[in-house]
Amino acid sequence: MVTARALLLLALVAGAAQAHVTVEQVTVPVKVLNVYGKETERDIRVSLYYESGAPKPYPLLVLNHGRSSKATVRAAVTPKPYEAAARWLTGFGFLVAVPVRVGYGATGGDDVEDSGGCGNKQYPPVYLASAAQTLAVLEMLRKRGDTAKDRAVVMGQSFGGTTALTIASQMPVGVQGTINFAGGGGGNPEDRPENPCGQARLRELFAGYGKTARIPTLWIYSANDRYWGPKLPVEWFDAFRAAGGVGEYAGFPPVEGADGHLFFSRKSDLWRPRVQEFLKGLGYTRQ
């Protein structure tokens, strides 16, 4: 006779088995242009995370990293700061991809995301380069036999957050929504705190995205973001919405004792409920 205690233990074991996260390392060939139109072809490194027991085909989620103005920091980029979020997102059934883009970490190569000097920022080309890599990852993953061809979400932090909005403006088939954490451009918390370069051009960038973005977007910022400050992100969102963009803005209070720009990695307990609500609206619930 099977006791209630035995049934409980079996359920716990089954749940643990289902929650096992498989990690794979793959490479994806990409072709991108820098601000001067120079073409670069390179294989980028991509870490994949998924629960082996989740229903197939897996919907896809691409999670993009940020960008530092320092070459040494860019060279040290790894998926590690994004791993906890990637593992959490697998609980919605996603196969999560964390690319290391051209010019960063183990992928290496030219810095194709350099937008130029502070007085003459050229923002659109660099985000198009990042978006092209994101779309290449989606295209490669859709060739697998265990992935959905028509269900995907794009998410990113800082430079990766703006990339998510770039993707929304392009309206690629199968991308259902995008999530922007602390997205912007031209920021430097040391030399120009809360005063990014080319602010008029940034506003134009987001307004331009709003002209074509018709899928749901979620914008998440903390009030003490040292890159953008509390006001600029709201202005960008308002410009995006005024141009016709579809979006929700989630502003969070200052992160105590830290730069709010790091909200994504340091305060996941605060933002997870809001992301979960957004994903539920797209048809995804945690298992």
pLDDT digits (tens, 9 = 90+) for 170-188: 999 999 999 999 999 999 9
Q: How confident is the model at residue 258 (pLDDT cuts 50, 70, 90)?
A: confident
Q: How many CA atoms lie within 13 A of 13 on its CB side?
A: 6
The chain-wide mean pLDDT, for the chain, equals: 93
Determine the pLDDT at residue 9. 40
Q: Any idea which residue has 């390179």 for tokens?
A: 42
Of residues 104, 115, 93, the one with CA closest to residue 65: 104
In CATH, the number for domain 22-281 is 3.40.50.1820
- Distance (Å, whole) CA 121 – CA 198: 6
The pair of structure tokens assigned to 203 is 């506003």
29 band by pLDDT with thresholds 50, 70 and 90: very high
State pTM to two decimals.
Answer: 0.93
| pLDDT confidence of residue 19 | 67
In this structure, what is the dihedral angle of CA atoms 151, 25, 170, 57, given to the nearest 10 degrees?
-10
User: What does the pLDDT read at residue 255?
Assistant: 86
Average pLDDT over residues 194-205: 98
- The tokens describing 227, both together, are 């890159």
Q: Which two tokens stand for residue 192?
A: 């120009």
Q: 213: alpha, beta or left, given left = phi > 0 and alpha = psi -120 to 50?
A: beta
**Other CB atoms within 10 Å distance of the CB of residue 10:** 11
The domain ranges of the chain are 22-281
9/32 Cα distance (integer angstroms): 52
**129: pLDDT strictly greater than 90:** yes
The β-bridge partners of 64 are 156
Give the mean pLDDT of 198-224. 98
The whole-number pLDDT of residue 7 equals 37
d(CA 214, CA 25): 33
Q: What is the pLDDT of residue 279?
A: 98
